[in-house]
Amino acid sequence: MTATTDGSSGPAGPGAAAASETTGITLEAGDVVRAAALAAERSVEHLLGRQDAQGWWKGDLETNVTMDAEDLLLRQFLGIQDARITEAAGRFIRGEQRDDGSWATFYGGPGELSTTVEAYVALRLAGDRPEDPHMARASAWVRDRGGIAASRVFTRIWLALFGWWKWDDLPELPPELIFFPKWLPLNIYDFGCWARQTIVPLTVVSAKRPVRPAPFALDELHTDARTPNPVKPLAPAASWDGFFQRADKVLHAYHKVAPRRLRRIAMNAAARWIIERQENDGCWGGIQPPAVYSVIALHLLGYDLQHPVMRAGLESLDRFAVWRDDGARMIEACQSPVWDTCLATIALADAGLAPDHPALVRAADWMLAEEIVRPGDWAVRRPRLAPGGWAFEFHNDNYPDIDDTAEVILALRRVRHPDPEQVDAAIGRGARWTMGMQSRNGAWAAFDADNTSAFPNRLPFCDFGEVIDPPSADVTAHVVEMLAHEGKAHHPRTRRGIEWLLAEQEPNGAWFGRWGVNYVYGTGSVVPALTAAGMPFSHPAIRRAVRWVESVQNDDGGWGEDLRSYREQKWIGHGESTASQTAWALLALLAAGERESKAVERGVAWLAETQRADGSWDEPYFTGTGFPWDFSINYHLYRQVFPLTALGRYVHGEQFTDRAGGDAPDSREGG
C-alpha cells in the first residue's frame, strides 16, 4: 500500500483493496446491530485521530495525472524546473499508466486521450525516451485515437506554449470579453466560477500567443506529422455548433486587426480582475487550474517571478502537492478542509459523540473562523444580498458555496458550543445568504444563482467539461434539509425547493447526482431532505426511491455506481461496492423508515465486514465529481465520514432533532 499524507492508504494497483487487512468479521443476522456499534466505535477513534490540532479534517483529493503533467509544463514554461520535483512527478505519473499504455481519469476507467497526451509529454520532460516500452505503448495508443488533433482544447493550449501546436489552430478567446456587460450573453459571469477564473487569464494567453523553445519534438503523437491538424468540415451553418465555428473564424480575423490600444486596455483590465481575486494564501479560488493560468497570464504581462503576486501564487501551487512515502508527488486539483470538517463533525455527532466533546468544539471553532462575510462574484446577480457562508477550501473568500454552507450549518447545530450566540449569529447569516441564492426555478446551484445560460457550453473553446453552474438535486436537497432543521420546512422558499426536487425525480425513482457519483449520491441526498422537511415515509416519491435503492443493491450487500453511469444507462446504479456509496444508499433507506429491512441489514453488515482493523475503509474507486464524467474525484475522507454517519444513524437513530428559527416569510433577498 502507498501511504498518503491524510493517513489513508491508496491502492498499489488493481485488486489492492481486496488485499487490505479487514476485521475479518462474518456476521449472522442477529449480530448486525452489535457489529455496527463496534464498527462505529472503531471509526470514531480513527476519525478523531486524524483531526488537526486546529480543529479541521482534510483527506487527500485525488483526480488524474493532468494536474501533475501541467505542473511540470508550467515549470518548463517559467524556467523553474526542479530535478527532485520532476523525478517525483514522473514516478507518480508512471505508476498511474494502464497496461494498454494510456491513462484514465478515474480508477478502473477507460483510457482518455487528452490525459494520455499530457502524461506522455510530462514523462518526456522527466527524461523518458520515446522508444521506452511504456512510452511506445502510449504514443501508439494516442495515434490510434486520432493523435494530438483529437485532444481537447486545453491540452492543445499547453502544447502551443512550446510550439507543438499552432495558435492559429486553436479557438480564439479575445481579452475584450472582459468588457461584455453583465446583461450580454457570453459575459464572463455567464460562466461557472471555475470556468470564469480559468477563461479570464486564458484570454491574455490567447492574445499573447507565447511560444517557448520546445525541448524535443512530438511527431510520434500525430497520425501524420506532415499534416498534424487535418481539415475538418464545419457543422451546418444553421446549427449552433456551425454558428459558433464561423464566429470563431471571425474572431481569428479580428485577432490580426485588433486595435493595439484597445487590446492593451483589455489585457490590463483582465490583469486587474485576476489580481483582485487572488486569495490571501496566493491562490485563485482555492483550485489549481485557475492558479496555473493566472500565473502564466500575469507573467506574460510583465510580472516577474519575484513580484509579490507571482511569488505568492507559485508558493500556493506548492501547497497542492502531496508527497507519498514511495517518493511520488501527486498534485491535488483542490483541497477540501471545510467540506471534510463539516462532514466529519456530522458523522461523529450522529455516531453518538457528546455534542460538547472537545473535538467537536474545536471543529466548530475552526468552522466559525472560516465564515465569509464579504461579497464575492455571486453578488453580481444578488447585489442586495448580505454575505454569509462558507467555501470549500482553506482560502476562497470570493466563492463561498451553497453546498458547504448548508452542511456547515447542519454540523454547527450538532455541537454544544460554549458561545451559542456566536453560533446562532453565524448560522443566521449563512441561512439567509443561502435562501437568497435560490435560483428562479426554486432550486439551488453550487456557487451562483441563475447561472444557466445555454451559450457557454456551445463555444468551440469549452470542450473540457461543464462550464455553467445550474441547480442540482444534491445541492438543493442539502439546502432543504438544512432549512428544515432550522425550522423553515414550511417557508415558501423551502417548499419551492421541494417541488423542484419532486419534479426532478427520475421515472425509476432515483435522482441524478451532480457532485457525487451518481444516482446513488443524488438519491442518498434527496430522501433525507424530504423526510426532514416532513414528507411521510408513505409518500409515493419516497416509496419509488426505496424500491430503486433496493433494486440496485449488489449481491455482496453493498452498493456501488461506476462513473460510466454518466454516459451509459447500463451503469446506472451499478458498480463495485464502495464504502461511501453503500453509506449513501443506507442514508436514503434509513431516512425512509427502512431500518428493519433486509436491504439495510445487508448493507450495514457489508460495512462492518469490510472495515479495516484500524477503523477505516479502503476505497480506490472515485465517487466524487468535479464535472460529471469529464473530471472525477476520489475524496479520501468520503470512505470514513459517510460510513460512520450511516452506522451512527443505524445504531442510534436520528439524533438531530433540535430545530430553530421561524417560518415567517421575509421580503428581503435572503428571506
| Burial class of residue 79 in the structure, from the number of CB atoms within 10 Å of its CB (0-12 exposed, 13-18 middle, 19+ buried) | exposed
| Burial class of residue 495 in the structure, from the number of CB atoms within 10 Å of its CB (0-12 exposed, 13-18 middle, 19+ buried) | middle
| CA–CA separation, 468 and 33 (whole Å) | 44
Catalytic-residue membership of 403: yes
| CA–CA separation, 407 and 656 (whole Å) | 13
| CA–CA separation, 659 and 488 (whole Å) | 9
Question: What angle do helix axes 288-300 and 260-276 make, rounded to 10 degrees?
Answer: 140
- Cβ atoms of 402 and 389 within 8 Å: the answer is yes
Question: What is residue 165's three-state secondary structure?
Answer: coil
Rg over alpha carbons for the chain, rounded to the nearest Å, is: 25
240: number of Cβ within 10 Å: 13
| CA–CA separation, 153 and 45 (whole Å) | 46
Closest CA to 401 of 393, 495, 566: 393
- Cβ atoms of 206 and 154 within 8 Å: the answer is no
| CA–CA separation, 324 and 84 (whole Å) | 13
- Cβ atoms of 207 and 267 within 8 Å: the answer is yes
Taking phi first (over 0 means left), then psi (-120 to 50 degrees means alpha), and beta for anything else, what does residue 657 get? alpha
- Cβ atoms of 386 and 670 within 8 Å: the answer is yes
- The HSE-up count of residue 321 (CA atoms within 13 Å, CB side) is 22
Amino acid, res. 72? L
Question: What is residue 428's three-state secondary structure?
Answer: helix
> Which of these is catalytic: 397, 403, 404, 474?
403
| CA–CA separation, 355 and 350 (whole Å) | 10
Rounded-to-10 torsion of CA 412, 418, 420, 423: -40
Grid coordinates standing for 188?
464572463
* C-alpha distance from residue 666 to each of 109, 117, 371, 423, 669 (Å): 48, 54, 23, 22, 8
No. of helices (H) and no. of strands (E), the chain: 22, 7
Say which residue the cell 440496485 belongs to: 552
Helix, strand, coil shares of the chain as percentages rounded to 5?
Answer: 50, 5, 45
Helix intervals (H) in 386-472: 402-412, 420-436
| CA–CA separation, 439 and 603 (whole Å) | 36
Active site residues: 403
